[in-house]
Amino acid sequence: MAKLGGQAVDALFSGQATGCSFADLPSSFYTRVAPRSLSRPRLLHVNPAVAARLGLNDAALHSPAFLALCAGSGRLPGVEPMATVYSGHQFGVWAGQLGDGRAHLLGDVSGPQGAWEIQLKGSGRTPYSRMGDGWAVLRSSVREYLASQAMEGLGIPTTQALALVAADDTVIRETPETAAVVTRIAPSFVRFGHFEHWAHSALDQAALLDYVVTHWFPDCLAGQADHPDRAVAACLLLAEVTRRTARLMAQWQLVGFCHGVMNTDNMSILGLTLDYGPYGFMDAFQANHVCNHSDSLGRYAWNAQPAVAQWNLTRLAESLQVLGCTVPDLEAALAPFESVFLQAYHAGLAQKFGLAAWRPEDAELGDAWWALLHAQQADFTLAFRYLADVGTDEPAWLSLFADGGAARQWLDRYRLRLADDPRPQAERKAAMDRVNPLYVLRNHLAQHAIQAAQQGDASEIGRLMALLQDPYTQQTGHESYAQPPAADVPTVAVSCSS
């Protein structure tokens, strides 16, 4: 596909500023590298809601210039694509230099809804690809495209996917597959790993700190703009990242989301859900559920995610010592993690239970709930959703449990708690339905969309996107999308190649 740039792409963003703030950092932070061209690229799907954030209208989304941009042959005016370098810990082990091995940062677009970085994923080799080919397959690209919408619909901070481009190029994974590229946006794609990479260089770490704080955490410079103390700013930044990450973990836990590969290079400095690979929303609940087939030791199990996030934050803290931060100051910045996590988790669980507020004694009710779901392997999403109907339609809720007696015992405790928190049933149900989704991106639903997309049919992607934009509202005719997979549906195994 011929390169389209200049006036063609410029017309997409008429009246909006384009550039690349990351390029203001020293050249050692990135490498200028062009995406690889695709064979017969075609726009499989586009998210109009995300496009609106960039000021793109419907006509722009169906233009050759838009396809060129999302396929890697177009350029933002005045910006050359780049890949950024970072390092990180993978599965708890220092992996050394990593970087954007199959991603290209096209630059920034600034408009009425703020500034957004535009990045292609699956767009070819970079100097940081190591032994990889830099491609992404349609299977994993559909999963990332849908997952970002699922999390956005649930109100969970995330990078967002703008478009999905398919192509004819063959990519070898376990079997031959076809290539695809996801165009995704975020205020920033800076990761913990960017800071880890510069842990040995005070000068470069200071440049990265200044960049991140100036653009996204200006409060960390409050009162010290003339002569900023970088050690102070770094600790203030760490404290805010700690709080954001703690709240994010609570949100993941409360919807049964498992990331699958919580390496430090997959942790966003802005507290966003970043890099959807072997993720999964639980069907049958198991507290130690592992969604990543590659995670043989269960490091990233559902019940381990908060602790892993805290461990990752500690690695981030260690990288800031080069700026003169003392260990006591860094420990103080990390200290709020547990309290912030528990506050967000308890407040969220109270809402999901239909309680006006969380009380300390509710911890026993919550622990008993997870124990019941674990022992009975009840469906995570529906167990919460149907709980709102207790008192009017208990059979639906009880049908999720193999042992009805054990379920009724917990239900008796729950009713006693509700009696001490009176509210009209209709009001309580409405409140619970606003926080307990009916639709989540179950693996078998994503798999159906993948199989259709591999035949050139994007209609299932479209249906799922519409449901996931409003996962709390029941949609007539889509009852099957709220159900767990049937017993005869093969389990979808996802791994790091996903």
Which position among 265, 329, 362, 379 bears the catalytic label? 265
Rounded distance between C-alpha atoms, residue 216 and residue 187, angstroms: 9
105 - beta bridge partners? 82, 119
265 among known catalytic residues: yes
Neighbours of 189 (CB within 10 A): 23
What's the start-to-end Cα distance of the chain, in Å? 27
Residue type (1 letter), 214: T
Per-state percent for the chain, helix, strand, coil, to nearest 5: 45, 15, 40
The CA-atom distances, in angstroms, between 443 and each of 110, 143, 299, 449 are 35, 9, 21, 10
CA angle 188, 124, 446 (to 5 degrees): 70
State the Cα–Cα distance between residues 101 and 119, nearest whole angstrom. Answer: 12
For residue 394 the two structure tokens come to: 């208990």
Measuring CA to CA, which residue among 264, 266, 288 is closest to residue 276? 266
Q: Determine the Cα–Cα distance for residues 442 and 284; give it in Å rounded to an integer.
A: 11
Query: Taking a C-beta distance cutoff of 8 angstroms, is the pair 262, 292 a contact?
Result: no
Three-state DSSP class for 17? strand
Contact between 119 and 183 under an 8 Å Cβ cutoff? The reply is yes
Record the tokens describing residue 378, joined without a space.
Answer: 């009840």
Q: Name, in order, each residue with C-beta under 8 angstroms of 22's C-beta and a sequence gap of 6 or more.
A: 29, 30, 82, 84, 105, 117, 211
The catalytic site residues sit at 265
